[in-house]
Amino acid sequence: MSEPLPGAPDVRVLVVDDQDLVREGIAALLGIQPGIEVVGSARDGAEAVEEAVRCCPDVVLMDIRMPGMDGVAAAALLRRRLPGCRVVMLTTFKDDEYVGQALKAGAVGYLLKNLPAVQLAQAVRLAHAGVAQFDQGVVAALAAGVPTPDVLTPRETEVLRLISAGATNKEIATRLYLSEGTVKNHISRMLSRLGLRDRTQAALYARENGLI
């Protein structure tokens, strides 16, 4: 999915960074990539929320550390006000604490600013399509603080593997001869035991622990 699909509408992007040169540079580089339309920019989290409500972007590229309202607080607000908008953190900080905060706030990605423009555009398109985007070093940092797989029962491990393969609750139920209610219970317990928030984190955990 490195190129936009023919006839597909451009992905509308809002760029948020407190450094003018960085913000303008990212916007300019993204603006010339196929399938991307930069619809606005903002200097901090509060302005980002205001601008997002105004222009309704598909994806917000958000710096994490900014004066006033930071990227984590802004992501949490956007999750409530514009649930269809995807927030991807774009930062220089490869810190597991920041990663965890961003994920809890609802971000669907965490990328570093040294990413080439073509790869950043691809990440934006994938995030818009619902595919979580994480720098590989960030994934390693995130996995380093996660419990080992032996805290799960064999059934929970099976469910985790199927989630990581993209299976829906219905598909998991069919595959394991369970009811959907039982599958939901397994998922809830598995997430709780691993200290994870959602299926995206579960998939990352499974990949980093060699379960898929």
Give the CA radius of gyration of the chain. 18
Q: 75: which 2 tokens?
A: 């992501």
31 pairs with which residues across the strands?
A: none
Q: What percent of the chain has pLDDT over 90?
A: 39
Provide mean pLDDT across the span 81-93: 90
Q: 17: which 2 tokens?
A: 């960074």
Provide mean pLDDT across the span 105-126: 87
Please determine, for residue 1, whether its predicted confidence score (pLDDT) is greater than 50.
Answer: no
Please determine, for residue 203, whether its predicted confidence score (pLDDT) is greater than 90.
Answer: no
Condensed to tens digits (0 to 9), the pLDDT of residues 136-157 reads 666 655 555 555 455 677 788 8
Q: Which residue has the higher pLDDT, 86 or 197?
A: 86
Q: Which residue has the higher pLDDT, 66 or 98?
A: 66
Interatomic CA distance for residues 178 and 22, integer angstroms = 51
Give me the chain's average pLDDT, please. Answer: 84
